[in-house]
Amino acid sequence: SQHPIICYRQIQPSDLEILEQLHGDIFPIRYESEFFQNVVNGHDIVSWAAVDRNRPDGHNDELIGFVTARIVMAKDTEIVDFLRYDSSKPDQTLVYILTLGVVGSYRNVGIASSLIQEVIKYASSIPTCRAAYLHVISYNNPAIHLYKKLSFKCVRRLHGFYLINGQHYDSYLFVYYVNGS
Ligand code: ACO
């Protein structure tokens, strides 16, 4: 087979079906169909897709990786404890990374790293933005390795944060500070 040519683009309405399918395949948590609608329509959510332009048989624009994120007000989040929060600037924002995934056969070639770099670039371009942050389940070693490699700081362990099939799991809170925070 041919070598992959990975490109990054915005997620669009025609990606809806594959986006939903990939989330179902990759994550232990179910997402509402409203979430996927909001992603593909860019309602309150920013997202990036990875595609392989060399993928044969009409799949050369099909998602092989994605990242989704939302802008939130810093004062409404648990991150406010980890910012030198300045109450004279109540409009401070954060970018919260919701989901990140790469199709199995495309892992370990840097696609997730590039997708997260896009999020960091975006967060850095927003003057009010202080950080990008996310939760990751405590047993997800590939993801934890990735965020540490990209210089995210693990600031907290949250006990029983996730409930999956009746079982509680801890999560780590990872933060990447931007704009001199
Ligand atoms: N244990 C430790 N590190 C690992 C493991 C493992 N089992 N497997 C891979 N890695 C490392 C690789 O060695 C590589 O690091 P390196 O560059 O130092 O060698 C790194 O993890 C992977 O880097 P990328 O190639 O940029 O990442 P990739 O494109 O493979 O995607 C991802 C990583 C997104 C975690 C992928 O494995 C995936 O889709 N997993 C399932 C979904 C998931 O866990 N998503 C993140 C959840 S957190 C959230 O969504 C906010």
ipTM: 0.92
Against a cut of 0.80, is the pTM above it? yes
Residues with CB under 6 A from ligand 1: 26, 97, 99-102, 107-113, 134, 136, 140-143, 145-146, 149
Strands 167-177 and 153-164: antiparallel
| Per-residue pLDDT tens listing for the chain (181 residues) | 579 999 999 999 999 999 999 999 999 899 999 999 999 999 999 999 999 999 999 999 999 999 999 999 999 898 888 887 677 778 999 999 999 999 999 999 999 999 999 999 999 999 999 999 999 999 999 999 999 999 999 999 999 999 999 999 999 999 999 998 8
Q: Are 20 and 13 in contact (CB under 8 A)?
A: no
Strands 46-52 and 63-73: antiparallel
**Among the residues of 69-156, which ranges form H helices?**
111-125, 141-149
Strands 93-102 and 63-73: antiparallel
| pLDDT value of position 1 | 58
Q: Are 123 and 87 in contact (CB under 8 A)?
A: no
**Ligand 1: which of 26, 27, 94, 146 to mutate, most ligand atoms within 8 Å of CB?**
146
CA 146 to ligand 1 centroid distance, Å: 5
CA distance 177 to 1: 40
Strands 129-137 and 46-52: unpaired
User: Among 6, 98, 96, which residue's Cα sits nearest to residue 49?
Assistant: 6
CA 174 to ligand 1 centroid distance, Å: 15
User: Among 92, 101, 96, 44, which residue's Cα sits nearest to residue 69?
Assistant: 96
